[in-house]
Chains A and B, each alone.
Chain A
Amino acid sequence: MAILAVTGTPDVLAKIPVDVTAPGAVVRSTAVDNGDGTWSVTVHAAESQIPAMQAAGVTVEIVVSDADDDARWQVILGQVDSGPGVA
Chain B
Amino acid sequence: MAGWMTSAVISAHLDQAAANSRGVCTRMSWAAGSAGASAGYVKIAKVTPASPAQRWPVLISGGVHARELAPPDALVSFVEKLLAAYAASSPLVYPSWTSPVDAVTYSSFTISWPQVQSVVERLDLYVAPLVNADGRDFVLGTPADPADKDLRRMWRKNRRPPPAGSTGDSCTGVDINRNFSILWDYTTAYLPAVVALAPDAGVAASQDPCDFESYAGPAAESEPETQNLAGLMRSQNISFYLDVHSYGRHVLYPWGIETNQSTVVTQNFANPAWDHKRDGSAPAATAYAEYIPASTGAAMDAMAKRMCDFIQSKAGGADPTARSRSVYTSRQSGLLYPNTVVTGSSNDYCFSRWFTAASAGAPISPVMAFTVEAGGDVKLGGSNDEGGFAPHYVNFYPKIEREIHAALWGFLTAVAAVNFAPPEAPPAPGGSTCFIAGAAYGDGTHPDVLFLRDVRDRQLGASAAGRAFGAGLTAVYSRLSPPAAAWLTRRPWAAAAVRDFLLHPLVAVLRRVSALAEGRPRVRSVLLTLAFIIALAAPVILAVLVALLARA
Contact = CB atoms under 8 A, between A and B. Distances in A.
Interface of A: 1, 3-5, 10, 13-17, 20-31, 33, 39-42, 44, 46, 61, 63-64, 70, 72-73, 75-77, 79-83, 85-86
Given A26-B200, A63-B378, A73-B153, A10 B392 contact: no
A76 B181 CA distance: 35
Ranked nearest first, the 3 interchain pairs of A and B with the lowest CB-CB distance are A29-B248, A14-B201, A10-B338
A3 B6 contact: no
Contacts of A21: 168, 170-171, 208, 210-212
A33 B329 CA distance: 14
Contacts of A24: 150, 154, 212
Determine which residue in B5, B204, B210 has the highest number of CB atoms from chain A within 10 A of its CB, and name it: B5
B250 A29 contact: yes
A40 B379 contact: yes
A1 B153 contact: yes
A83 B377 contact: no
B338 A23 contact: no
A39 B336 CA distance: 11
Given A3-B388, A80-B4, A28 B154 contact: no
B201 A83 contact: no
A82 B10 CA distance: 9
Given A28-B336, A42-B377, A14 B4 contact: no
Given A28-B336, A82-B8, A22 B212 contact: yes
Nearest to A39: B338
Contacts of B202: 14
Given A30-B247, A81-B1, A82-B6, 9 more contacts: A3-B379, A5-B379, A14-B201, A14-B202, A16-B200, A25-B156, A28-B204, A80-B4, A82-B140
Nearest to A4: B379
B498 to A, nearest CB: 37
B213 interface: yes
Contacts of B69: 76
A86 B13 CA distance: 6
Secondary structure call for the B interface: loop
A79 B388 contact: no
Given A10-B339, A76-B390, A85 B12 contact: yes
Contacts of A70: 149
A42 B379 contact: yes
Determine which residue in B8, B67, B252, B394 has the highest number of CB atoms from chain A within 10 A of its CB, and name it: B8
B1 A25 contact: no
B140 A80 contact: yes
A77 B393 CA distance: 10
Interface string B425-437: 0000000000000
Interface string B1-34: 1111110110011001000000000000000000
25 contacts: A3-B379, A10-B338, A10-B339, A17-B200, A17-B212, A20-B199, A23-B170, A24-B212, A25-B213, A29-B248, A29-B373, A30-B247, A30-B377, A31-B338, A42-B388, A63-B378, A64-B378, A64-B385, A72-B390, A76-B69, A79-B3, A81-B3, A81-B9, A82-B8, A86-B9
A15 B338 contact: no
B156 A72 contact: no
Interface string B268-291: 000000000000001000000000
A13 B393 contact: no
Contact of A23 (B154, B340, B388): B154
Given A20-B213, A40-B379, A30 B248 contact: yes
A75 B4 CA distance: 12
B351 interface: no
B10 to A, nearest CB: 9
A83 B9 CA distance: 6
Given A3-B378, A29-B245, A15 B154 contact: no
B206 interface: yes
Given A29-B248, A31-B338, A82-B6, A13 B150 contact: no
A40 B377 CA distance: 11
Contact of B150 (A46, A75, A80): A46
A12 to B, nearest CB: 10
B494 to A, nearest CB: 35
A24 B388 CA distance: 13
B502 interface: no
A22 to B, nearest CB: 6
Contact of A63 (B3, B140, B379): B379
A79 B5 CA distance: 9
